[in-house]
Each structure stands twice: as structure tokens, then as C-alpha cells.
């Protein structure tokens, strides 16, 4: 979407309104696949389940009910998930800070 006349306030307002429609989780006409919001929810749910599985396996290891290999695999998966979540959070905060520093 291009704005032909940047000095036109009405065109700018329309562009912002159009972007607001696109930014919501409402389906975009002609869009295929899940929305960005659905993708984020799915990743967050998977991450939480991986962390819970790691905690459960660690608790079973303490009581002597788990195989050492399973404990190491679950703990490694949980650690990798945590590192990924922290890296994504850092990137999102960096992007937000970059946006906030942009001149209006």
C-alpha cells in the first residue's frame, strides 16, 4: 500500500485505519493459513507444555520413577525452549524500542 501524497492528512488517516484492520486478528480477505495471533498462541502453548513435561520428568527422577535418559531429554528440551522464549522476547523488546525511537 503506497500513499501518493504524504502531506495529505486524510490519506495518512486512511492508511493508519487500513493498517489497524490488518493488525487485528480478524481474517484478512484472501489470506490463507492461521493468523499471527493463532501462531503466537500455538507456540506459547507448546512452550508451556514442554516446560511442564520437563518439570514432571524431573520430579519423577527425584522419586526414582524415571529413566535417566528420559530425564536428560526432557530437561534439555525445556532448557532449549526457555532459551528460545527468552531470545524471542529480547527481539520483540528490541523491535518495540526501535519503533519508540522513531521520529513522528
Q: Per-residue pLDDT tens for 48-59?
A: 999 999 999 999
Residue 100 has pLDDT above 90, yes or no: yes
Q: Alpha carbon 34 to chain centroid distance? A: 13
What pLDDT sits at residue 19? 61
* pLDDT above 90 as % of the chain: 52
Please state, rounded to an integer, the average pLDDT across all residues of the chain: 81
Q: Per-residue pLDDT tens for 1-17?
A: 444 444 556 666 666 66
| Torsion 41-46-52-55 (CA) sign | negative
* pLDDT above 70 as % of the chain: 70
Q: Per-residue pLDDT tens for 33-44?
A: 788 889 889 989
Tell me how crowded residue 95 is: count the other CB atoms within 10 A of its CB: 10
Angstrom distance (rounded) from CA 12 to CA 42: 34
Amino acid at each position: 500500500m503506497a500513499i501518493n501524497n504524504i502531506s495529505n492528512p486524510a490519506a495518512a488517516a486512511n492508511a493508519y485505519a487500513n493498517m489497524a484492520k490488518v493488525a487485528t486478528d480478524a481474517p484478512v480477505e484472501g489470506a490463507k493459513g492461521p493468523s499471527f495471533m493463532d501462531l503466537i498462541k500455538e507456540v506459547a502453548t507448546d512452550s508451556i507444555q514442554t516446560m511442564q513435561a520437563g518439570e514432571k520428568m524431573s520430579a519423577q527422577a527425584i522419586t526414582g520413577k524415571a529413566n535417566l535418559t528420559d530425564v536428560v531429554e526432557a530437561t534439555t528440551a525445556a532448557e532449549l525452549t526457555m532459551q528460545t522464549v527468552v531470545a524471542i522476547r529480547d527481539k520483540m523488546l528490541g523491535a518495540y524500542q526501535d519503533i519508540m525511537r522513531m521520529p513522528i
